[in-house]
């Protein structure tokens, strides 16, 4: 039985769906004006684990995600310029070119992190008529008004506006900018824009005809419209980063429930921030860390995925290169231990079921991925056959998505090649178990045998630069780190 913390009720509770066995799931997608930073991607990793856990435990899932390519202003509320226009100006490209480039970059990052593509991915610019229809409905029900050229949602008509009122002041203040003028068109300070017209923009690139004039939708109406179209009027699970809780998700609830006339979504799942030693990671600060940068520095993106899995989604996670290096060491040792297991057919089903039950229990306990990773090590320590262990780990990896068995098999092949190299031609290499170093030592031997002493010296100097000392001995060589 899945237990999840619900941001709306501020407690952990049994996960229930409108239709038994079926989950309508919505996850806030990226605003595609720049690369996603690894803090953004922490949310998508944890949402991916949640979706796979639901499928793994027997649910049928329909997951929908938007792509914001218009309407998201730099303040996250109703001030500043459209982020897409800002990106286009930065790179001197059209807004649609920017959207295409960064949408593709986002899904490339997701693929590298083994994040499954949602069942439905909908760019906001593709559903303008749906947003207009929803705004018309809210006006007709007297939940919205036209003022100063824009259409606003009237929060004074709600019995309760602040749904997520347990969040930190820092979280609630996301998007607040100094020097922003107050919007005098609003009847109440919390009212928010459903549709902007030319009164709001001078050079907005994307705009459409509407009953209220040429303009474009507000950010918040987009997610509501997309979810209503593809998830229906009853949403089971809404996910996003903690900084989306206010104002974005708060406004989604206000306008959607006012439009449909009943409770919309029962379960809200928020992933907390990735912090650096300097504070929360943010694009507005200038430089930020991307998956491509991790790769340039030699890190496997799946190491970052494991780094995220080692922490709970409702806790802030501190990123540092030292922490990531520790994750590299942990990941490599884990793969090495799995590589030492010998494949076979003798799977003990009773042990398999027992181990799987522990893994499921960890995930159903508010998606406790740290406990789930502990369950991986419990498999390695279990008194059972190697074949059983490998079968269990393959089963776990549907959710973890760390390519455990594929990487272990590659490691086995690497070890076999290294073992062959060590004794090739009667030449034995004794070292510290690094196949890459063994291969270079073997190349040096082959160069010396061919009397290519310059190449042999070059390899020796290359190894020395890496802190490796080679000692020639009878019938081979020894190497060690100095």
pLDDT of residue 475: 77
Same domain? 223 vs 324 = no
Split at pLDDT 50, 70, 90, the class of 219 is very high
DSSP structural state of residue 242: G
CA dist., res. 20 & res. 339, Å (int)? 41
Query: What domain range includes position 388?
Result: 293-407
Structure tokens at 279: 């504070």
Would residue 288 count as lying in a domain? no
pTM (2 decimals)?
Answer: 0.86
My answer on whether 187 and 220 are in the same domain is yes
Domain identity same for 306 and 256: no
Give pLDDT, residue 167. Answer: 47
- Residues 400, 453 within the same domain: no
The single-letter DSSP state of residue 17 is: -
Residue 450 and residue 384 share a domain: no
Single out the residue in 249, 276, 303 at which a domain terminates: 276
Q: Using DSSP, state whether 376 is helix, strand or coil.
A: helix
468 φ/ψ sector (left φ>0, alpha ψ -120 to 50, else beta) = beta
Pairing of strands 274-276, 317-318: parallel
Q: How many domains does the chain have?
A: 3
Q: Do residue 99 and residue 136 come from a single domain?
A: yes
> Does residue 73 carry a pLDDT above 50?
yes
As given in the structure block, the two tokens for residue 60 are 């049928």
Where is 15: in which H helix or E strand? Answer: none
Statement to judge: residues 20 and 111 lie in one domain:
yes
The confidence score (pLDDT) of residue 176 equals: 37
Residue 161 covered by a domain: yes
Kindly report, residue by residue over 325-343, the tens digit of the pLDDT: 999 999 999 999 999 999 9
Q: Are residues 158 and 252 in the same domain?
A: yes
Report how far Cα 262 is from the mean position of its chain's Cα atoms.
31
Q: List the CATH number of the domain containing 241.
A: 3.40.50.620
Q: In the prediction, which pLDDT does 348 show?
A: 97
Asked if residue 141 and residue 21 are part of one domain, the reply reads yes
Q: What is the mean pLDDT of residues 29-55?
A: 97
- Bridge partners of 68, per DSSP, are 31
Q: Answer yes or no: is 457 within a domain.
A: yes
Q: Which of 251, 276, 301 is the last residue of a domain?
A: 276
Last residue of one domain, picked from the residues 250, 276, 302: 276
Question: Within a domain: residue 415?
Answer: no
* Average pLDDT over all residues of the chain: 90
User: What percent of the chain lies above the pLDDT cut of 70?
Assistant: 90
Residue 449 CA neighbour count, 13 Å, CB half: 12
With respect to residue 316, please indicate whether it lies within any of the assigned structural domains: yes
Three-state secondary structure call for residue 244? helix
Q: Are residues 59 and 159 in the same domain?
A: yes
In Å, the largest CA–CA distance within the chain is 92
Strand segments (E) across 165-310: 192-197, 215-217, 235-241, 265-271, 274-276, 279-280
Round to whole Å and give the CA distance between 165 and 455.
68
Q: Domain check: are 137 and 211 in the same one?
A: yes
Burial of 129 by CB count in 10 Å (0-12 exposed, 13-18 middle, 19+ buried)? exposed
How buried is residue 36: exposed, middle or buried, by Cβ count under 10 Å (0-12/13-18/19+)?
buried
- Judged by DSSP in three states, 306 sits in helix
Q: Is residue 187 part of a domain?
A: yes
Least confident of 197-211, 252-266, 447-461: 197-211
Tens-digit pLDDT profile for residues 224-244: 999 999 999 999 999 999 999
What are φ and ψ of residue 296, in 5° steps? -60, -30
Would you call 116 exposed, middle or buried from its count of C-beta atoms within 10 A (0-12, 13-18, 19+)?
middle
> Quick one: 298 and 247 in the same domain?
no
Question: How far is the CA of 145 from the CAs of 140, 182, 185, in angstroms?
Answer: 9, 18, 10
Kindly state whether residue 418 falls inside one of the protein's structural domains. no
Q: Where are the beta strands (DSSP E) in 32-158?
A: 60-67, 120-123, 144-147, 150-153
Sort strands 150-153 and 144-147 into parallel, antiparallel or unpaired: antiparallel
pLDDT at site 175:
34
pLDDT surpasses 60 at 347: yes
User: Does any domain span residue 319?
Assistant: yes
């Amino acid at each position: 039985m899945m237990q999840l913390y619900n941001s709306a009720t501020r407690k952990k509770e049994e996960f229930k769906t409108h239709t038994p066995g079926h989950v309508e799931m919505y996850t806030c997608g990226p605003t595609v004006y720049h690369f996603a930073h690894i803090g953004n991607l922490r949310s998508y990793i944890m949402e991916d684990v949640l979706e796979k856990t639901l499928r793994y435990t027997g649910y049928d899932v329909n997951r929908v995600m938007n792509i914001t390519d218009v309407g998201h202003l730099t303040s996250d509320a109703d001030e500043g310029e459209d982020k897409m226009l800002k990106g286009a100006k930065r790179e001197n490209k059209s807004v649609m070119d920017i959207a295409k480039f960064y949408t593709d970059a986002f899904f490339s990052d997701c693929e590298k992190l083994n994040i499954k593509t949602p069942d439905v991915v909908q760019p906001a610019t593709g559903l303008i008529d749906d947003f207009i229809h929803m705004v018309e409905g809210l006006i007709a029900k007297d939940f919205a008004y036209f003022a100063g050229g824009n259409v606003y949602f009237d929060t004074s008509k709600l019995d309760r506006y602040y749904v997520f009122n347990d969040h930190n002041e820092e979280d609630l203040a996301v998007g607040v900018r100094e020097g922003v003028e107050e919007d005098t068109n609003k009847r109440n300070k919390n009212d928010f824009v459903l549709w902007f017209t030319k009164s709001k923009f001078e050079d907005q690139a994307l705009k459409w005809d509407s009953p209220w004039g040429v303009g474009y939708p507000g950010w918040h109406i987009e997610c509501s419209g997309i979810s209503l179209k593809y998830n229906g009027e009853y949403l089971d699970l809404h996910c996003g980063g903690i900084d989306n809780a206010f104002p974005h998700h708060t406004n989604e609830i206000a306008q959607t429930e006012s439009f449909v006339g009943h409770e919309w979504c029962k379960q809200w799942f928020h992933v907390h921030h990735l912090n650096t030693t300097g504070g929360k990671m943010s694009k507005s600060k200038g430089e930020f860390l991307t998956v491509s940068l991790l790769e340039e520095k030699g890190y496997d993106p799946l190491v970052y995925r494991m780094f995220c899995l080692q922490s709970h989604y409702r806790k802030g996670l501190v990123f540092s290169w030292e922490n990531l290096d520790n994750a590299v060491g942990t990941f490599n040792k884990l793969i090495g231990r799995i590589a030492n297991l010998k494949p076979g057919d003798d799977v003990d089903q009773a042990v398999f079921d027992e181990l799987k039950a522990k893994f499921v229990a960890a995930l159903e306990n508010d998606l406790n991925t740290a406990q789930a990773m502990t369950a991986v090590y419990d498999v390695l320590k279990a008194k059972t056959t190697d074949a059983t262990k490998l079968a269990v780990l393959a089963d776990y990896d549907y959710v973890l998505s760390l390519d455990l068995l594929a990487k272990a098999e590659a490691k086995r092949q690497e070890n076999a090649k290294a073992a062959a190299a060590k004794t090739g031609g009667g030449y034995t290499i004794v070292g510290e178990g690094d196949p890459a170093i063994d291969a270079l030592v073997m190349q040096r031997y082959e160069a010396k045998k061919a009397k290519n002493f310059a190449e042999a010296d070059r390899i020796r100097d290359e190894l020395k630069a890496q802190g490796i000392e080679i000692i020639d001995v009878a019938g081979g060589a020894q190497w060690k780190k100095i």
